[in-house]
Structure 1
Amino acid sequence: MSFSSLGLNAELLRAVADAGYSEPSPIQAKAIPACLEGRDVLAAAQTGTGKTAGFTLPILQRLSANHYDRNRPVRALILTPTRELAAQIGESVDKYGKYLNPRLKSDVVYGGVKINPQMMRLRGGVDILVACPGRLLDLVGQNAVKLDRVETLVLDEADRMLDMGFMRDVRKILNLLPKKRQNLLFSATFSKEIRELTSTLLSDPVSIDVAPRNTAAETVSQSVYKADKKVKPALLIHLIKQHNWRQVLVFTATKHMANRVTQHLQKADITAAAIHGNKSQGARTSALAGFKSGEIEVLVATDVAARGIDIAHLPNVINFELPNTPADYVHRIGRTGRAGASGQAVSLVAPDERDQLRQIERLISKSIKVAEAEGFDPNAGHAEMADSRAGTPPPRGNRNGGPRRDSRSADAGDKPARRRRPRSRSAGRSE
């Protein structure tokens, strides 16, 4: 099957070819025709399946085919849970719509940056708006944007929006939209609340489930290295240097640990940067751009901040700490092995993480092989963790293995909302 068989126009096909794609992914093959017909769509789709093009391409075609309104009301609204994912979708809209004439105008809005520039940009109107829920409501409250002309609504990663406490804001946004519109919902999992939302939001939807959920791509090799917390940083450095790994995405459970791991890598002359909720948006954008270009070898990220990291041939994912939720393991390692490419996922597992490992293995219905780090001396690892200021062994009770995981140091959204105290309106808008 080719993209030309899906009913896309010549301008979009040209942009797709420029991007290097010749055959649609399974979700694209099913979603694009349904979207072009104006049908509602309910898709079980994880990051890395090609779903972004699955909805941006038909949206661009449907909007460009209709009459042009020089006031440019928002006609397509795409809601996402995080800044990085919003930016990624915005890039896709620009990439695929570059040959349309007249060109559609798009914009991306999210929190963490000043609101006034966003308000100024929206004054000129916008055809396609990609937004995080909290900032969008702020802009609506400032009368900077109206949503009464929306023709297509996309809820991307609906399950993650639920986990991050955005569903209340999403429901408020739904009340601002026209009753008659096309609705496209993408979610990796379908909880009771998500199913309730779909029953009221979607009308006779086309259901798409192109791959079993909670499974990793067959092209991803998975392995475990057992290591005490105190030697994990040294083991991580050893593996990266021994195998000469480049473009390594490392996951930690907390923002604090992401910073610590980054510091250890930098001291070992490995170019590294951290990306998490405490970083400014400028720092996050710069780190991601450096990682994509190869200037930064290792990107250390928390789960929430990593949403939207989309690199076609990312070769290495390392779990410095296992996630608390087994499904997040699948999301993490799904960053590699995309579009048929090979990749590897490595997990450093401490004794107190063995139960988490067992839960992950039950979820994916397979045992993950245990590997040995050839040439690694755990005692040398302890030495590397010594107090660098004095060059002496660490004192008793040091915390070089990282703090206990608690909600005070966790990244906003690292744990499902149900495990935390209810978010206030402002807290839910951190993205």
Structure 2
Amino acid sequence: MADPEALGFEHMGLDPRLLQAVADLGWSRPTLIQEKAIPLALEGKDLLARARTGSGKTAAYAIPALQLLLHRKATGPAVEQAVRGLVLVPTKELARQARSMIQQLAAYCARDIRVADVSAAEDSASQRAVLMEKPDIVVGTPSRVLNHLQQDSLVLRDSLELLVLDEADLLFSFGFEEELKSLLCHLPRIYQAFLMSATFNEDVQALKELVLHNPVTLKLQESQLPGPDQLRQFQVVCQTEEDKFLLLYALLKLSLVRGKSLLFVNTLDRSYRLRLFLEQFSIPTCVLNGELPLCSRCHIISQFNQGFYDCVIATDAEVLGAPVKGKRRGRGSKGDRASDPEAGVARGIDFHHVSAVLNFDLPPTPEAYIHRAGRTARANNPGMVLTFVLPTEQSHLHTIEELLSGENGAPVLLPYQFRMEEIEGFRYRCRDAMRSVTKQAIREARLKEIKEELLHSERLKTYFEDNPRDLQLLRHDLPLHPAVVKPHLGHVPDYLVPPALRGLVHPHKKRKKLASKKVKKAKTQNPLRSFRHRKERCRPTAMPS
């Protein structure tokens, strides 16, 4: 039940055009962070706000930013068009999402407010053209914004009025510390600033000292994740690495996890190993790979949201681990050194209707667990988190549990009741599949994906027209065989299904249906029967002659 004393959007003194956009988005009441932050921001105060992932932080800064800009244009003296607002985010995907949200809120005042996203490095020339028109709000990563400032295609020293650092606790972890310090030298001495974060850590404290002036701190009294009535959290102890693969196979193949799911692992190589393993059993998945261009990653998210895939494999260890001071993320481990340093997955990306988050690898930090779990149980929808744990990782899991349990100390991660002995019949299949997924197969799977991206790239089309031999060489390169898929593994015989689940799960129901259709079609189109039938019909006409 809504709090009768809660402040509604209509009581905040917002422009009617903003209220109309809010109504179109279906927001009847502000969330807690929006209710507290918007009035303070409209008073001109600096804000340091902590609220959990999925709580509406983007709108909490976008609405007052738009209101302040609209009010200035309507009542202030006529001044030259200039960039008044700057939004810094750690990843390109978050920049794209923030720009989209701001544009939706500015739908009825699009002529007065223009927004530009400068996060994509490959669009530098077009971005410079957009920046020459002086958009009101610029969204981007610190490195891209700094690049434009250094090239003088973006000038903020005399015009900036509002600075937003979204997902502030990740900006230093992504290796943007030096860029941020250099960027601040290009800003005026006085401006209003918002720091929005899901957690308060040392990095946020450092940013607070760099950016904010006498801020109001909003540390909302709410749990970092939804309650147990909305989000169920489980742990399952697997004795070996093989047990993890076996359990995941059973959960997905027997449809014990229903709906859309996100699978998190700790390295990019692991994500491809998992995808190739599941492919052996005809379980379609896709990998959100930071090596691919932004548009391709966004296309994968869009396909997942539209239901083309029920399972996406993602990685966040290099994103949400211990802060990498002075280094750019993504250049560390051998398996992931080529990944895009501004491609983030675990937090902020809007995956729709995720029923379950499966932590196939234990999150590296408690904060990483919170951000992964924040992908499900959003907007009052139910969700589940299942974390796979090896015996050697239980002490680390205990650290995560301590953070989640808070002051009351009640256990949050409940044991997942599953009898591993009931799926022992599947073990030989899993071993067979795991043997097929070699290091060479993983390497070739990654190469194949990049090769397909090159062949279908719109940006390379002109290059290939000028260099047709390169295109022919790429097309006729040695064929890549990521892994040998054994068709029989996609079929689950009834005798292997645990007795308790027989009659409840039908892992090969569709396969039988398709097979029966083909047989039926073959019977109706027997050429011998049709030939004989025609021969008999033409005999009576031939006899009189």
Q: TM-score when scaled to structure 1?
A: 0.84
Q: What are the residue-to-residue correspondences of 1:161-180 with 2, within 5 Å?
A: 161-180=171-190
Q: Which residue type is aligned with residue 387 of structure 2?
A: S
Instruction: Tell me what 1:97 maps to.
Output: 106
Distance 2:303 2:436 in 1: 34
Paired residues for 1:152-191 under 5 Å: 152-191=162-201
The residue number in structure 2 matching 1:309 is 349
Q: Specify the alignment match of 2:89 in structure 1.
A: 80
Structure 1, 62-71 or 351-360: larger mean CA deviation = 62-71
* Equivalent in the alignment of 1:240: 252
For the pair 1:344 / 2:384, whether they are aligned, the reply is: yes
Q: CA deviation at 1:101?
A: 5.7
Pairing of 1:259-270 with structure 2 (within 5 A): 259-270=272-283
Aligned equivalent of 1:229: 241
Give the equivalent residue in structure 2 for 1:426: none
Answer yes or no: is the 8 Å Cα contact 1:105–1:126 preserved in 2.
yes
Distance 1:75 1:394, change over 3 A: closer
Residue type of the partner of 1:153? L
Q: Does 1:44 align with 2:53?
A: no
Residue in 2 that maps onto 1:130 = 139
Distance 1:55 1:394, change over 3 A: closer
Structure 1 residue 231: Cα displacement: 3.6
Per-residue CA deviations over 1:141-169 (Å, capped at 9, x if unaligned) read 22221122111000111111111221221
Deviation at 1:378, TM superposition (A): 4.1
Q: Distance in 1 between matches of 2:381 and 2:274?
A: 28
1:386 aligned onto 2:432? yes
Letter in 2 for 1:128: I
Match of residue 424 from structure 1: none
Alignment partners' CA distance in 2, 1:217 and 1:161: 28
| TM alignment of 1:32-431, pairs within 5 A | 32-67=38-73, 72-100=81-109, 102-111=111-120, 113-148=122-157, 149-212=159-222, 217-218=227-228, 219-227=230-238, 228-241=240-253, 242-243=255-256, 245-303=258-316, 304=319, 305-306=344-345, 307-311=347-351, 313-365=353-405, 366-373=411-418, 377-378=423-424, 380-386=426-432
CA contact (8 A) 1:312 1:339 kept: no
Query: In the TM superposition, what is the alpha-carbon distance from 1:226 to its structure 2 partner?
Result: 2.4
Q: One-letter code of the match for 1:169?
A: E
- 1:237 is displaced (CA, Å) by 3.4
**Partner SS, residue 278 of structure 2:** helix
Stretch deviating more after TM superposition (205-214 or 152-161): 205-214
Matched residue of 1:110: which SS? Answer: coil
Answer whether contact 1:255 1:278 (CA < 8 A) is retained.
no
- Residue type at the aligned position of 1:334: G
Cα offset for 1:110?
A: 1.7
Do the aligned residues in 2 keep the contact of 1:217 with 1:334 (CA within 8 Å)?
no
2: CA distance between counterparts of 1:77 and 1:117? 19
Instruction: Please say if residues 235 and 381 of structure 1, whose CA atoms lie closer than 8 Å, have aligned partners that are also in contact.
Output: no
One-letter code aligned to 1:237: Y
Kept in 2, the 8 Å contact 1:249–1:301? The answer is yes
Equivalent residue letter for 2:195: L
Match of 2:34 among 12, 28, 34: 28
Residue number in structure 2 paired with 1:417: none
Scaled by the length of structure 2, the TM-score of the pair is: 0.67
- Deviation larger for 226-235 or 168-177: 226-235
Distance 1:135 1:335 in 2: 27
Contact map agreement 2:234 2:386 (CA 8 A) in 1: yes
Alpha carbons 2:49, 2:219 under 8 Å: kept: yes
Cα distance in 2 for partners of 1:77, 1:89 equals 11
SS at the partner of 2:426?
Answer: helix
- Amino acid paired to 1:355: S
Percent identity, aligned pairs only, is: 33
Query: Displacement, 1:62?
Result: 1.1
* Structure 1 residue 104: Cα displacement: 1.1
* Conserved? CA contact 2:51–2:224, under 8 Å: no
Give the C-alpha shift of residue 192 in structure 1.
Answer: 3.5
Equivalent position SS for 1:299: strand
Deviations 1:172-222 (CA, angstroms, capped at 9, x unpaired): 111111111110011233333432431342222222112456555442101
Which piece of structure 1 moves more, 153-162 or 308-317?
A: 308-317
SS at match of 1:208: strand
In the TM superposition, structure 1's runs of 4+ consecutive aligned residues that sit over 4 Å from their partners are 68-71, 212-216
User: Which amino acid counterpart does residue 125 of structure 1 have in structure 2?
Assistant: K
How far does residue 379 in structure 1 lie from its aligned partner after superposition? Answer: 5.2
Is the 2:360–2:388 Cα contact (8 Å) retained in structure 1? yes
Aligned 8 A contact 1:79 1:130 in 2: yes
Q: Distance in 2 between matches of 1:27 and 1:301?
A: 28
Instruction: State how far apart, in whole Å, the 2-side matches of 1:266 and 1:387 are.
Output: 9
For structure 1, which segment, 296-305 or 149-158, has the greater mean C-alpha deviation from structure 2 after superposition?
296-305
Extract unaligned runs of 5+ from structure 1: 403-431
Distance 2:210 2:128 in 1: 31
Classify 1:271/1:5 alpha carbon distance in 2 versus 1 (closer, same or farther; 3 Å): farther
One-letter code of the match for 1:97? A
Kindly indicate whether the alpha-carbon contact (under 8 Å) linking 2:305 and 2:352 is maintained by their aligned counterparts in 1: no
Residue 414 of structure 2 aligns with an amino acid whose one-letter code is: K
Amino acid in the other structure paired with 2:278: L
Q: How many residues align?
A: 396
When residues 244 and 145 of structure 1 are mapped into structure 2, their CA distance, relative to the original with a 3 A threshold, is: same
CA distance in 2, matches of 1:131, 1:70: 25
Let me know the Cα RMSD of the aligned residues: 2.7
Q: Distance in 2 between matches of 1:175 and 1:363?
A: 37
Q: CA separation in 1, counterparts of 2:383 and 2:207?
A: 35
